[in-house]
Structure 1
Amino acid sequence: MMINKMSFKNIGLKFSFIVFTVFLNSCSVFGEWWYDRLDLYLANYFFEYAEFTNDQKYYIRKTTKEYKNWNSNSELPKLKKPFY
């Protein structure tokens, strides 16, 4: 009887570890996917609330892409530093 309880406990721990690992990886994948589309999201956000000329749309797309690049190169390394 004691062996069965121990084996169930081990199975529970292994299952919990597997679920945690999958969850952690899925968050990482989703976060990376979302961040890769951040500039498109920001540009489209502005386009929903007003009408812009083609020149203005070009400027908005350019600015949001520059913001994403700045954030990737300047700010994200600061956030990653404590984790390494």
Structure 2
Amino acid sequence: MPHYLNLNTHTQLEAPTPGQTMDYDAVALAAELVARGHGPLVEIGAQTSGLAIIQVGRSAIGDKLLIGGADPRRDGVIGGR
């Protein structure tokens, strides 16, 4: 998904990264953000932050189930047993 962040002085918009982020029209997204009052806009390159998440649940037979996700823009990976 596209990353954008407003810092109360400007709005950062991440440029699409082939193979890592969804392919989206950054120009159209920037125009829509400006139309909604998010300006001035600054385009940034690759993100320096990343996300990792673990969802805890139960399998169909009631065993504990862990499902993980890692942001491919960083060096995190999913692993386990």
User: What TM-score comes out, normalization by structure 2 length?
Assistant: 0.26
Which of the pair has the greater relative contact order for Cα pairs under 8 Å at 6+ separation?
Answer: 1
- Give the structure with the larger strand fraction: 2
User: What TM-score comes out, normalization by structure 1 length?
Assistant: 0.25
- Give the structure with the larger helix fraction: 1
